[in-house]
Amino acid sequence: MIAEFHNRLGSPEQVECTRLVLRDSPDGEALCVAIEAGPRQWYIVHRGDGDEAMNKALQALGVNETIISDMVDAPTPPGKLWTPNGG
Tens of pLDDT along the chain (87 residues)? 999 999 888 889 999 999 999 999 888 889 999 999 888 888 999 988 889 999 999 999 999 999 888 777 666 665 666 666 654
Angle at 61 between CA 32 and CA 41, to 5 degrees: 70
Residue 61 confidence (pLDDT): 92
Structural domain total, the chain: 1
Nearest to 30 by CA among 70, 7, 6, 58: 58
Residue 76 confidence (pLDDT): 63
What are the strands of the beta sheet with 19-23, ordered from one edge?
19-23, 30-38, 41-46
> What range defines the domain where residue 50 resides?
2-84
